[in-house]
């Protein structure tokens, strides 16, 4: 799409009025660039031990917005493919996406989604609403359905700060199924192989009105529980200094917690687990 095929000039398609969707623009003019459209040959299914998969991601609302976090491990079958994978990414200033599932496709989808939101804002002159962003991501997941049915599923988790909501309710969480089904979650949610254990911890520890530090510790406790029972989820690696990624979105926008902060909180949590291996009791 550089214009080289037109002697260095942009092609006519760039000047023809059309959809504000960059994905639809690619589908119409360069569909081969959409990785979500490339289905494997009939009868072929991806082997789980040949493709890296990301595991556990989670989100929870807190007093000032919403927090999203993920462990760092990617696996291929029973092998650790990567120890420091980044599964949490900003989509724009007030939206973030994390993923579980096929790593290569997920990273492509995240990049395309970032461009999708920026392209819409440039074409329309205004940013997309948070509900619109959720529906747009659902449509992109639906385009990947053919590959998902062949074992290459991507399961994102979307969060955003919605100034249209009342104070204390502005952090919103959306989950999806592999067919693009869209579901808004209240309070907290988790996706990936360790998600049942993470959701159990979140159900125990979550309450409305958490401050940022409390929310971050709650997320780390949930990821620790996921790693404790799911071999595909990685806990904080103190020796290698690899810690979960924790990010927050507030009125001020997206912020990834500095590694120094997540390191301090992770060490504090691990020290607490020495006295209480099963984690803290439920919040009264």
Active site residues: 55
Q: Are 25 and 18 in contact (CB under 8 A)?
A: yes
- Please count the other Cβ atoms lying within 10 Å of the Cβ belonging to residue 110: 24
Q: Are 198 and 223 in contact (CB under 8 A)?
A: yes
Backbone angles phi and psi of 224, in degrees to 5:
-65, -45
Backbone angles phi and psi of 92, in degrees to 5:
-155, -165
HSE-up (13 A, CA, CB side) for residue 225 = 23
As a whole number of angstroms, the distance between CA 145 and CA 148 comes to: 5
Backbone angles phi and psi of 272, in degrees to 5:
-65, -35
CA distances 117 to 124, 138, 170, Å, are 11, 13, 20
95 has which bridge partners?
92, 160
Q: Are 36 and 144 in contact (CB under 8 A)?
A: yes
Token readout for 124 is 């329309």
Backbone angles phi and psi of 253, in degrees to 5:
110, -165
As a whole number of angstroms, the distance between CA 260 and CA 250 comes to: 20
Nearest to 1 by CA among 87, 115, 98, 89: 115
């Amino acid at each position: 799409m550089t214009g080289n095929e037109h002697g260095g000039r942009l092609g006519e398609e760039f000047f023809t009025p059309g959809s504000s969707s960059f994905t639809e623009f690619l589908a119409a003019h360069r569909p081969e660039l959409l990785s979500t459209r490339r289905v494997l040959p009939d009868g072929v299914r991806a082997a789980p031990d040949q493709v890296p998969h990301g595991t556990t991601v989670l989100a929870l609302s807190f007093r000032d917005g919403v927090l999203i976090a993920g462990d760092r491990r990617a696996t291929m079958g029973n092998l650790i493919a990567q120890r420091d994978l980044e599964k949490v990414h900003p989509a724009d200033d007030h939206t973030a996406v994390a993923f579980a599932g096929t790593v290569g496709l997920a990273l492509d989808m995240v990049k395309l989604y970032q461009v999708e939101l920026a392209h819409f804002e440039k074409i329309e002159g205004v940013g997309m609403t948070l509900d619109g962003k959720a529906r747009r991501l659902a449509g992109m997941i639906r385009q990947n359905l053919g590959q998902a049915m062949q074992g290459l599923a991507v399961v994102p988790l979307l969060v955003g700060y919605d100034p249209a909501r009342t104070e204390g309710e502005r952090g919103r969480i959306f989950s999806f199924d592999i067919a693009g089904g869209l579901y808004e979650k209240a309070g907290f949610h988790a996706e990936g192989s360790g998600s049942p254990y993470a959701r159990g911890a979140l159900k125990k520890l979550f309450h409305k009105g958490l401050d940022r530090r409390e929310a971050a510790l709650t997320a780390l406790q949930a990821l620790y529980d996921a790693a404790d029972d799911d071999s595909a989820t990685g806990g904080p690696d103190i020796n290698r200094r690899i810690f979960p990624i924790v990010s927050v979105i507030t009125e001020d926008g997206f912020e990834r917690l500095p590694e120094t902060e997540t390191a301090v909180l992770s060490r504090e949590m691990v020290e607490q687990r020495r006295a209480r291996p099963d984690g803290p009791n439920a919040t009264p």
